[in-house]
Amino acid sequence: MLQKLKEKETALSKSEQNVLSRDKVINELRLQLPATAEREKIMAELGKQDDPEYHHAIKIAHETIANMHARLNQKEEVLKKYQRLLAKAREVIKLFAQNFFHF
């Protein structure tokens, strides 16, 4: 029983590290995105260009940003899922420990 508890604690620790690592990546991605006002200013300046290459580049940039936002949202959902699972695992370990030490 104690061996299984240690295995669960190890798995829990690995899950926590995984969540923290993913959170760090998400925060780094957020820092790379320009502020909304700055982005709007850049887009307004680029919108003044009549060159078709600029319009194509802007379209690709918009698509890239949309895809990055979608990926970020997916990662946030995965993080929330892991946080819920982590909370459940902690509760199970807590209940297990309480029952184990009452015997």
Assess if residue 83 is contained within a domain. Answer: yes
Contact 16, 86 (CB under 8 A): yes
Assess if residue 71 is contained within a domain. Answer: yes
The reported pLDDT for the residue numbered 14 is 82
DSSP assignment of 1-30 equals -HHHHHHHHHHHHHHHHHHHHHHHHHHHHH
Q: Which residues contact 5 (CB under 8 A, 6 or more apart)?
A: 93, 96, 97, 100
Quote the pTM value: 0.45
Burial of 58 from C-beta contacts in 10 A (0-12 / 13-18 / 19+)? middle
Number of domains in the chain: 1
The reported pLDDT for the residue numbered 78 is 92
Q: Which residue segment(s) compose the domain that 50 sits in?
A: 22-102
Assess if residue 10 is contained within a domain. Answer: no
Series of mean pLDDT values for 10-residue runs along the chain (103 residues): 76 81 79 68 67 80 88 90 91 86 68
Measured in whole angstroms, how far is the alpha carbon of residue 101 from the centre of its chain?
37
Assess if residue 13 is contained within a domain. Answer: no
